[in-house]
Protein backbone atom coordinates (compact mmCIF):
# COMPACT_ATOMS: atom_id res chain seq x y z
CA UNK A 1 0.00 0.00 0.00
CA UNK A 2 2.63 2.43 -1.14
CA UNK A 3 0.94 5.65 -1.85
CA UNK A 4 -2.13 5.30 0.30
CA UNK A 5 -2.45 7.87 1.26
CA UNK A 6 -1.20 10.94 2.84
CA UNK A 7 -4.89 11.43 3.42
CA UNK A 8 -4.92 8.62 5.94
CA UNK A 9 -6.76 5.44 5.35
CA UNK A 10 -9.00 5.97 8.35
CA UNK A 11 -10.58 8.99 6.71
CA UNK A 12 -11.32 7.12 3.51
CA UNK A 13 -12.82 4.24 5.49
CA UNK A 14 -14.87 6.65 7.54
CA UNK A 15 -16.14 8.49 4.46
CA UNK A 16 -16.99 5.23 2.69
CA UNK A 17 -18.81 3.98 5.78
CA UNK A 18 -20.75 7.18 6.27
CA UNK A 19 -21.77 7.86 2.67
CA UNK A 20 -21.37 4.50 0.94
CA UNK A 21 -19.61 3.82 -2.37
CA UNK A 22 -18.97 4.53 -5.16
CA UNK A 23 -18.00 8.00 -4.07
CA UNK A 24 -15.80 10.81 -5.34
CA UNK A 25 -13.54 12.28 -2.66
CA UNK A 26 -11.65 15.57 -3.14
CA UNK A 27 -8.69 16.83 -1.15
CA UNK A 28 -8.95 20.63 -1.07
CA UNK A 29 -5.41 20.99 0.24
CA UNK A 30 -4.13 19.32 -2.91
CA UNK A 31 -6.06 21.81 -5.07
CA UNK A 32 -4.40 24.62 -3.13
CA UNK A 33 -0.99 23.03 -3.56
CA UNK A 34 -1.47 22.68 -7.31
CA UNK A 35 -2.59 26.30 -7.58
CA UNK A 36 0.55 27.37 -5.72
CA UNK A 37 2.70 25.25 -8.04
CA UNK A 38 1.26 26.85 -11.10
CA UNK A 39 1.69 30.34 -9.69
CA UNK A 40 5.34 29.55 -8.94
CA UNK A 41 5.86 28.24 -12.47
CA UNK A 42 4.42 31.37 -14.05
CA UNK A 43 6.13 33.79 -11.69
CA UNK A 44 7.49 36.81 -13.53
CA UNK A 45 4.65 37.17 -16.02
CA UNK A 46 1.35 38.96 -15.69
CA UNK A 47 -1.15 36.10 -15.82
CA UNK A 48 -4.59 34.93 -14.74
CA UNK A 49 -5.92 31.39 -14.61
CA UNK A 50 -9.50 30.52 -15.51
CA UNK A 51 -10.57 27.15 -14.16
CA UNK A 52 -11.82 24.87 -16.96
CA UNK A 53 -15.19 23.84 -15.57
CA UNK A 54 -15.55 20.94 -17.96
CA UNK A 55 -13.00 19.10 -15.84
CA UNK A 56 -15.14 19.40 -12.73
CA UNK A 57 -18.20 21.58 -12.35
CA UNK A 58 -19.20 20.79 -8.78
CA UNK A 59 -20.74 23.95 -7.35
CA UNK A 60 -18.83 23.76 -4.07
CA UNK A 61 -15.51 23.15 -5.75
CA UNK A 62 -16.20 26.10 -8.03
CA UNK A 63 -16.81 28.32 -5.02
CA UNK A 64 -13.55 27.07 -3.58
CA UNK A 65 -11.70 27.81 -6.85
CA UNK A 66 -12.97 31.36 -6.68
CA UNK A 67 -11.51 31.81 -3.18
CA UNK A 68 -8.14 30.83 -4.70
CA UNK A 69 -8.35 33.76 -7.10
CA UNK A 70 -9.21 31.76 -10.20
CA UNK A 71 -11.68 32.81 -12.88
CA UNK A 72 -13.97 30.33 -14.66
CA UNK A 73 -13.83 28.93 -18.20
CA UNK A 74 -17.33 27.86 -19.27
CA UNK A 75 -18.06 25.85 -22.36
CA UNK A 76 -21.86 25.74 -22.30
CA UNK A 77 -24.77 27.84 -21.11
CA UNK A 78 -25.19 25.56 -18.14
CA UNK A 79 -21.54 25.79 -17.18
CA UNK A 80 -21.86 29.57 -17.43
CA UNK A 81 -24.98 29.53 -15.25
CA UNK A 82 -23.30 27.29 -12.71
CA UNK A 83 -20.29 29.63 -12.58
CA UNK A 84 -22.64 32.54 -11.86
CA UNK A 85 -24.34 30.46 -9.20
CA UNK A 86 -20.95 29.79 -7.63
CA UNK A 87 -20.40 33.54 -7.33
CA UNK A 88 -18.24 34.28 -10.38
CA UNK A 89 -19.11 37.66 -11.85
CA UNK A 90 -19.54 37.89 -15.64
CA UNK A 91 -16.16 39.56 -15.97
CA UNK A 92 -14.53 36.62 -14.21
CA UNK A 93 -15.82 34.17 -16.82
CA UNK A 94 -14.44 33.25 -20.23
CA UNK A 95 -16.79 31.51 -22.66
CA UNK A 96 -15.44 28.79 -24.93
CA UNK A 97 -16.82 26.14 -27.22
CA UNK A 98 -17.63 25.43 -30.83
CA UNK A 99 -21.00 25.59 -32.57
CA UNK A 100 -22.57 28.18 -30.28
CA UNK A 101 -26.24 28.54 -31.20
CA UNK A 102 -28.03 31.85 -31.81
CA UNK A 103 -29.77 31.36 -28.45
CA UNK A 104 -26.39 30.88 -26.74
CA UNK A 105 -25.02 34.02 -28.35
CA UNK A 106 -28.07 36.10 -27.45
CA UNK A 107 -27.65 35.00 -23.86
CA UNK A 108 -23.94 35.88 -23.78
CA UNK A 109 -24.52 39.21 -25.50
CA UNK A 110 -26.82 40.13 -22.63
CA UNK A 111 -24.55 38.76 -19.94
CA UNK A 112 -21.31 40.26 -21.30
CA UNK A 113 -18.77 37.77 -19.94
CA UNK A 114 -15.14 38.82 -19.65
CA UNK A 115 -14.50 37.43 -23.11
CA UNK A 116 -16.11 35.20 -25.70
CA UNK A 117 -13.68 32.97 -27.55
CA UNK A 118 -14.86 32.84 -31.14
CA UNK A 119 -14.36 29.44 -32.76
CA UNK A 120 -15.23 30.13 -36.40
CA UNK A 121 -15.80 32.66 -39.16
CA UNK A 122 -19.45 31.58 -39.10
CA UNK A 123 -19.68 32.57 -35.44
CA UNK A 124 -18.53 36.08 -36.34
CA UNK A 125 -21.32 36.24 -38.91
CA UNK A 126 -23.85 35.19 -36.26
CA UNK A 127 -22.55 37.80 -33.80
CA UNK A 128 -22.70 40.42 -36.50
CA UNK A 129 -26.48 39.94 -36.77
CA UNK A 130 -27.04 41.37 -33.31
CA UNK A 131 -24.96 44.49 -33.33
CA UNK A 132 -24.59 44.46 -29.53
CA UNK A 133 -21.13 45.02 -28.10
CA UNK A 134 -19.01 42.00 -27.23
CA UNK A 135 -15.43 41.47 -26.20
CA UNK A 136 -13.97 38.61 -28.16
CA UNK A 137 -10.83 36.57 -28.67
CA UNK A 138 -10.24 34.65 -31.87
CA UNK A 139 -9.37 30.98 -31.47
CA UNK A 140 -6.41 30.09 -33.63
CA UNK A 141 -5.83 26.50 -34.65
CA UNK A 142 -2.06 26.45 -35.20
CA UNK A 143 -1.98 22.93 -36.68
CA UNK A 144 0.39 21.59 -34.04
CA UNK A 145 0.53 17.99 -32.87
CA UNK A 146 0.11 18.03 -29.07
CA UNK A 147 1.37 14.42 -28.90
CA UNK A 148 -1.49 13.36 -26.71
CA UNK A 149 -4.38 10.91 -27.16
CA UNK A 150 -6.09 11.68 -30.51
CA UNK A 151 -9.46 12.19 -28.79
CA UNK A 152 -8.06 15.06 -26.74
CA UNK A 153 -5.93 16.75 -29.37
CA UNK A 154 -7.53 20.00 -30.52
CA UNK A 155 -4.86 22.00 -32.33
CA UNK A 156 -4.45 20.03 -35.56
CA UNK A 157 -6.07 21.24 -38.73
CA UNK A 158 -8.17 18.06 -38.89
CA UNK A 159 -9.66 18.88 -35.45
CA UNK A 160 -12.96 20.72 -35.33
CA UNK A 161 -11.71 23.60 -33.20
CA UNK A 162 -10.56 27.10 -34.03
CA UNK A 163 -9.55 28.78 -37.26
CA UNK A 164 -6.47 28.68 -39.42
CA UNK A 165 -4.26 31.74 -39.55
CA UNK A 166 -5.63 32.82 -42.93
CA UNK A 167 -9.22 32.91 -41.69
CA UNK A 168 -8.26 34.78 -38.53
CA UNK A 169 -6.33 37.27 -40.61
CA UNK A 170 -9.39 37.83 -42.81
CA UNK A 171 -11.56 38.46 -39.73
CA UNK A 172 -9.06 40.87 -38.22
CA UNK A 173 -9.16 42.98 -41.37
CA UNK A 174 -12.97 43.12 -41.53
CA UNK A 175 -14.06 43.07 -37.95
CA UNK A 176 -17.71 44.05 -37.41
CA UNK A 177 -17.74 47.31 -35.42
CA UNK A 178 -19.68 45.87 -32.49
CA UNK A 179 -16.90 43.38 -31.74
CA UNK A 180 -13.97 44.41 -29.62
CA UNK A 181 -11.02 42.20 -30.53
CA UNK A 182 -9.38 41.89 -27.12
CA UNK A 183 -7.22 38.84 -27.60
CA UNK A 184 -6.27 35.69 -29.40
CA UNK A 185 -6.85 32.24 -28.04
CA UNK A 186 -5.29 28.85 -28.62
CA UNK A 187 -5.77 25.46 -26.96
CA UNK A 188 -3.95 22.58 -28.59
CA UNK A 189 -5.10 19.67 -26.44
CA UNK A 190 -5.18 18.10 -23.02
CA UNK A 191 -2.84 15.93 -20.91
CA UNK A 192 0.18 17.39 -22.71
CA UNK A 193 3.47 16.24 -21.22
CA UNK A 194 5.97 17.54 -23.69
CA UNK A 195 6.63 21.31 -23.76
CA UNK A 196 7.66 21.27 -27.43
CA UNK A 197 4.12 21.46 -28.88
CA UNK A 198 3.49 24.50 -26.68
CA UNK A 199 6.67 26.12 -27.99
CA UNK A 200 5.58 25.50 -31.56
CA UNK A 201 2.05 26.79 -30.98
CA UNK A 202 3.05 29.93 -29.08
CA UNK A 203 5.75 30.79 -31.64
CA UNK A 204 3.18 30.71 -34.38
CA UNK A 205 0.83 32.91 -32.30
CA UNK A 206 3.66 35.38 -31.76
CA UNK A 207 4.48 35.45 -35.44
CA UNK A 208 0.82 36.09 -36.25
CA UNK A 209 0.55 38.95 -33.75
CA UNK A 210 3.75 40.51 -35.14
CA UNK A 211 2.80 40.03 -38.80
CA UNK A 212 -0.62 41.59 -38.27
CA UNK A 213 0.78 44.24 -35.94
CA UNK A 214 -2.07 43.57 -33.51
CA UNK A 215 -2.43 45.57 -30.35
CA UNK A 216 -4.15 43.07 -28.11
CA UNK A 217 -5.22 43.31 -24.49
CA UNK A 218 -4.17 39.72 -23.72
CA UNK A 219 -3.13 36.37 -25.11
CA UNK A 220 -5.12 33.33 -23.97
CA UNK A 221 -3.04 30.16 -24.25
CA UNK A 222 -5.73 27.69 -23.12
CA UNK A 223 -4.97 24.75 -20.85
CA UNK A 224 -3.63 21.27 -21.36
CA UNK A 225 -0.96 20.79 -18.69
CA UNK A 226 -0.56 17.04 -18.19
CA UNK A 227 -0.42 15.34 -14.80
CA UNK A 228 1.53 12.39 -13.49
CA UNK A 229 -0.94 9.48 -13.65
CA UNK A 230 1.77 6.80 -13.32
CA UNK A 231 3.63 8.59 -10.52
CA UNK A 232 6.86 8.11 -12.37
CA UNK A 233 7.33 11.71 -13.37
CA UNK A 234 5.15 11.67 -16.45
CA UNK A 235 3.44 14.99 -15.69
CA UNK A 236 4.38 18.17 -17.46
CA UNK A 237 7.91 19.22 -16.54
CA UNK A 238 7.33 22.51 -14.72
CA UNK A 239 11.00 23.45 -14.61
CA UNK A 240 11.24 23.03 -18.34
CA UNK A 241 8.00 25.00 -18.79
CA UNK A 242 9.42 27.79 -16.66
CA UNK A 243 12.70 27.90 -18.57
CA UNK A 244 11.35 27.39 -22.07
CA UNK A 245 7.80 28.66 -22.25
CA UNK A 246 7.69 31.49 -19.75
CA UNK A 247 10.26 33.62 -21.67
CA UNK A 248 8.28 33.00 -24.85
CA UNK A 249 5.12 34.17 -23.11
CA UNK A 250 6.88 37.24 -21.73
CA UNK A 251 7.82 38.21 -25.28
CA UNK A 252 4.14 39.01 -26.02
CA UNK A 253 4.40 41.88 -23.53
CA UNK A 254 0.71 41.33 -22.68
CA UNK A 255 -1.16 39.61 -19.87
CA UNK A 256 -1.35 35.86 -20.39
CA UNK A 257 -4.53 33.95 -19.62
CA UNK A 258 -4.71 30.23 -19.06
CA UNK A 259 -7.64 27.82 -18.92
CA UNK A 260 -6.48 24.93 -16.79
CA UNK A 261 -8.59 22.07 -15.51
CA UNK A 262 -6.76 18.80 -15.05
CA UNK A 263 -3.60 20.30 -13.57
CA UNK A 264 -5.59 21.99 -10.81
CA UNK A 265 -8.05 19.33 -9.81
CA UNK A 266 -6.93 16.00 -11.33
CA UNK A 267 -4.70 14.72 -8.55
CA UNK A 268 -7.06 15.95 -5.82
CA UNK A 269 -9.76 13.39 -6.64
CA UNK A 270 -10.18 9.76 -5.52
CA UNK A 271 -12.92 7.37 -6.46
CA UNK A 272 -13.79 5.08 -3.55
CA UNK A 273 -15.29 1.72 -4.38
CA UNK A 274 -16.02 -1.61 -2.69
CA UNK A 275 -15.15 -5.01 -4.08
CA UNK A 276 -18.28 -6.98 -4.93
CA UNK A 277 -16.65 -10.14 -6.26
CA UNK A 278 -13.29 -11.69 -6.95
CA UNK A 279 -13.82 -13.94 -9.93
CA UNK A 280 -11.32 -16.54 -11.01
CA UNK A 281 -11.49 -17.96 -14.52
CA UNK A 282 -9.11 -20.39 -16.15
CA UNK A 283 -7.41 -17.41 -17.69
CA UNK A 284 -7.49 -14.53 -15.25
CA UNK A 285 -8.61 -13.00 -12.02
CA UNK A 286 -11.26 -10.30 -12.28
CA UNK A 287 -11.76 -7.97 -9.36
CA UNK A 288 -15.29 -6.65 -9.68
CA UNK A 289 -16.03 -3.35 -7.99
CA UNK A 290 -19.17 -1.32 -7.35
CA UNK A 291 -18.06 1.51 -9.63
CA UNK A 292 -17.82 1.32 -13.42
CA UNK A 293 -17.33 3.10 -16.73
CA UNK A 294 -20.55 4.94 -15.91
CA UNK A 295 -18.76 6.75 -13.05
CA UNK A 296 -15.30 6.94 -14.64
CA UNK A 297 -15.16 6.58 -18.40
CA UNK A 298 -11.55 7.60 -18.98
CA UNK A 299 -10.07 4.05 -19.04
CA UNK A 300 -12.75 2.91 -21.51
CA UNK A 301 -12.66 5.97 -23.73
CA UNK A 302 -8.96 6.80 -23.85
CA UNK A 303 -7.33 3.66 -22.46
CA UNK A 304 -6.36 5.96 -19.62
CA UNK A 305 -4.28 4.68 -16.73
CA UNK A 306 -5.46 5.37 -13.16
CA UNK A 307 -3.64 3.86 -10.21
CA UNK A 308 -5.86 1.56 -8.17
CA UNK A 309 -5.14 0.35 -4.66
CA UNK A 310 -7.08 -2.08 -2.52
CA UNK A 311 -6.86 -1.39 1.17
CA UNK A 312 -6.07 -4.96 2.18
CA UNK A 313 -2.89 -6.49 3.48
CA UNK A 314 -2.64 -9.39 1.12
CA UNK A 315 -0.12 -10.46 -1.51
CA UNK A 316 -0.03 -8.84 -4.89
CA UNK A 317 -1.50 -10.58 -7.92
CA UNK A 318 -2.15 -9.71 -11.55
CA UNK A 319 -5.79 -8.97 -12.21
CA UNK A 320 -8.25 -6.99 -14.30
CA UNK A 321 -10.31 -4.52 -12.28
CA UNK A 322 -13.76 -4.32 -13.81
CA UNK A 323 -17.14 -2.76 -13.14
CA UNK A 324 -20.60 -4.25 -13.40
CA UNK A 325 -21.75 -2.51 -16.57
CA UNK A 326 -22.65 -4.97 -19.31
CA UNK A 327 -19.76 -4.23 -21.65
CA UNK A 328 -16.32 -5.75 -21.85
CA UNK A 329 -15.04 -2.21 -22.24
CA UNK A 330 -16.02 -1.62 -18.62
CA UNK A 331 -12.48 -2.34 -17.50
CA UNK A 332 -10.85 0.10 -15.11
CA UNK A 333 -7.45 -1.59 -15.15
CA UNK A 334 -6.10 -4.37 -17.30
CA UNK A 335 -3.43 -6.87 -16.21
CA UNK A 336 -2.64 -4.79 -13.16
CA UNK A 337 -0.57 -5.76 -10.13
CA UNK A 338 -2.76 -5.16 -7.08
CA UNK A 339 -3.24 -6.52 -3.57
CA UNK A 340 -5.68 -9.41 -3.80
CA UNK A 341 -8.75 -8.05 -2.04
CA UNK A 342 -11.72 -9.80 -0.50
CA UNK A 343 -15.34 -9.02 -1.11
CA UNK A 344 -16.19 -5.90 0.86
CA UNK A 345 -12.66 -4.44 0.84
CA UNK A 346 -12.26 -0.81 -0.09
CA UNK A 347 -10.54 0.21 -3.33
CA UNK A 348 -9.16 3.64 -4.17
CA UNK A 349 -8.84 4.88 -7.76
CA UNK A 350 -6.45 7.80 -8.04
CA UNK A 351 -6.26 11.06 -9.96
CA UNK A 352 -9.91 11.23 -10.91
CA UNK A 353 -10.59 14.82 -9.89
CA UNK A 354 -10.67 15.98 -13.51
CA UNK A 355 -12.97 14.46 -16.13
CA UNK A 356 -14.22 11.92 -13.58
CA UNK A 357 -17.61 12.92 -12.25
CA UNK A 358 -18.00 15.50 -15.01
CA UNK A 359 -18.12 12.69 -17.60
CA UNK A 360 -20.23 10.28 -15.54
CA UNK A 361 -23.44 8.88 -17.01
CA UNK A 362 -26.53 6.86 -16.16
CA UNK A 363 -25.59 3.99 -18.48
CA UNK A 364 -27.25 0.76 -17.34
CA UNK A 365 -29.37 3.09 -15.20
CA UNK A 366 -26.38 3.57 -12.96
CA UNK A 367 -26.92 6.32 -10.46
CA UNK A 368 -24.20 8.91 -10.22
CA UNK A 369 -22.06 8.74 -7.05
CA UNK A 370 -21.95 11.16 -4.15
CA UNK A 371 -19.09 13.67 -3.86
CA UNK A 372 -17.30 14.56 -0.64
CA UNK A 373 -14.67 17.23 0.03
CA UNK A 374 -11.99 17.14 2.71
CA UNK A 375 -10.36 20.33 3.95
CA UNK A 376 -7.61 18.74 6.01
CA UNK A 377 -9.74 18.62 9.15
CA UNK A 378 -13.27 17.73 8.21
CA UNK A 379 -15.03 16.11 5.33
CA UNK A 380 -18.42 17.16 4.07
CA UNK A 381 -20.78 16.07 1.35
CA UNK A 382 -20.84 18.37 -1.68
CA UNK A 383 -23.28 16.41 -3.82
CA UNK A 384 -25.65 13.69 -2.75
CA UNK A 385 -25.78 10.38 -4.51
CA UNK A 386 -28.51 10.10 -7.17
CA UNK A 387 -31.36 7.73 -6.46
CA UNK A 388 -33.58 5.49 -8.53
CA UNK A 389 -36.36 8.01 -7.88
CA UNK A 390 -34.26 10.74 -9.51
CA UNK A 391 -34.04 8.65 -12.66
CA UNK A 392 -37.72 7.88 -12.58
CA UNK A 393 -38.68 11.52 -12.04
CA UNK A 394 -37.02 12.69 -15.24
CA UNK A 395 -39.12 10.26 -17.22
CA UNK A 396 -42.39 10.71 -15.39
CA UNK A 397 -42.09 14.46 -15.62
CA UNK A 398 -41.64 13.97 -19.36
CA UNK A 399 -45.31 12.98 -19.41
CA UNK A 400 -44.81 9.40 -20.52
CA UNK A 401 -46.43 7.76 -17.53
N1 LIG B 1 -9.63 25.19 -22.74
C2 LIG B 1 -10.26 24.56 -23.75
C3 LIG B 1 -10.72 25.35 -24.89
C4 LIG B 1 -10.47 23.17 -23.70
O5 LIG B 1 -11.08 22.57 -24.72
C6 LIG B 1 -10.00 22.44 -22.59
C7 LIG B 1 -10.21 20.99 -22.51
C8 LIG B 1 -9.37 23.14 -21.54
C9 LIG B 1 -9.19 24.51 -21.66
C10 LIG B 1 -8.86 22.47 -20.30
O11 LIG B 1 -7.88 21.52 -20.57
P12 LIG B 1 -7.05 20.83 -19.37
O13 LIG B 1 -6.23 21.92 -18.71
O14 LIG B 1 -8.01 20.23 -18.43
O15 LIG B 1 -6.22 19.82 -20.07
N16 LIG B 1 -12.12 14.35 -21.29
C17 LIG B 1 -10.70 14.36 -21.58
C18 LIG B 1 -10.16 15.77 -21.62
C19 LIG B 1 -10.89 16.66 -22.61
C20 LIG B 1 -10.37 18.08 -22.58
C21 LIG B 1 -11.25 18.96 -23.38
N22 LIG B 1 -10.84 20.33 -23.40
C23 LIG B 1 -9.97 13.50 -20.59
O24 LIG B 1 -10.60 12.88 -19.72
O25 LIG B 1 -8.74 13.35 -20.67
**Ligand 1 pocket mutation pick from 149, 261, 267, 302 by most atoms within 8 angstroms of CB:** 261
- Interval 252-258 mean pLDDT: 98
Indicate the average pLDDT of the chain. Answer: 94
Backbone angles phi, psi at 326, to 5 degrees: -80, 70
Confidence of residue 77 (pLDDT cuts 50, 70, 90): very high
Check whether 4 has a pLDDT greater than 60: no
- Judge if the upstream peptide bond of residue 319 is cis by omega within 30 degrees of 0: no
Closest C-alpha to 48, from 214, 258, 356: 258
**Distance, CA of 279 to CA of 259 (rounded, Å):** 43
Q: Find out whether the beta carbon of 55 lies less than 6 Å from any atom of ligand 1.
A: yes
**Distance, CA of 177 to CA of 318 (rounded, Å):** 64
Label each residue of 275-305 as H, E or C.
Answer: EEEEEECCCCEEEEECCCCCCCCHHHHHCCC
For residue 167, the CA-to-ligand 1 centroid distance in Å is 24
Backbone angles phi, psi at 219, to 5 degrees: -125, 125
Up-side HSE of residue 73: CA atoms within 13 Å toward CB? 23
Q: Find out whether the beta carbon of 190 lies less than 6 Å from any atom of ligand 1.
A: yes
Q: Find out whether the beta carbon of 141 lies less than 6 Å from any atom of ligand 1.
A: no
Name the strand (E) or helix (H) holding 355: none
Report the DSSP beta bridge partners of residue 331.
322
Check whether 397 has a pLDDT greater than 80: no
pLDDT at residue 3, as a whole number = 47
For residue 154, the CA-to-ligand 1 centroid distance in Å is 9
The rounded Cα 182 to chain-centroid distance in angstroms is 25
Closest C-alpha to 296, from 359, 354, 373, 382: 359
Query: Whose alpha carbon is nearest atom 22 of ligand 1?
Result: 190
State pLDDT tens for residues 291-340: 999 999 999 999 999 999 998 888 999 999 999 999 999 999 999 999 99
State pLDDT tens for residues 118-152: 999 999 999 999 888 999 999 999 999 888 888 87
Q: Find out whether the beta carbon of 260 lies less than 6 Å from any atom of ligand 1.
A: yes
Query: Whose alpha carbon is nearest atom 20 of ligand 1?
Result: 190
Q: Where are the beta strands (DSSP E) in 191-292?
A: 218-220, 256-260, 269-280, 285-289
The verdict on pTM exceeding 0.85 is yes
Catalytic residues: 326
Q: Find out whether the beta carbon of 82 lies less than 6 Å from any atom of ligand 1.
A: no
Amino acid sequence: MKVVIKLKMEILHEVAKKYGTPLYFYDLQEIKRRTRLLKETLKGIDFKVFFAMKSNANLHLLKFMRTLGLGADAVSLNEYRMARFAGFLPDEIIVNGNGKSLEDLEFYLKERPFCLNVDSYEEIEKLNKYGSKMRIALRINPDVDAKTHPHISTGLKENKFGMDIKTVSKIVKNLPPNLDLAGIHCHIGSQIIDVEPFVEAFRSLKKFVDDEDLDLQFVNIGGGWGIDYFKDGDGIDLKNYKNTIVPLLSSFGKPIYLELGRFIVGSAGYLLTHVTEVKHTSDKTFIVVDTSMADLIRPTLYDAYHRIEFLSNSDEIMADVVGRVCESGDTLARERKVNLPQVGDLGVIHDVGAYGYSMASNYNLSIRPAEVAYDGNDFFIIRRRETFEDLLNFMQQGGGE
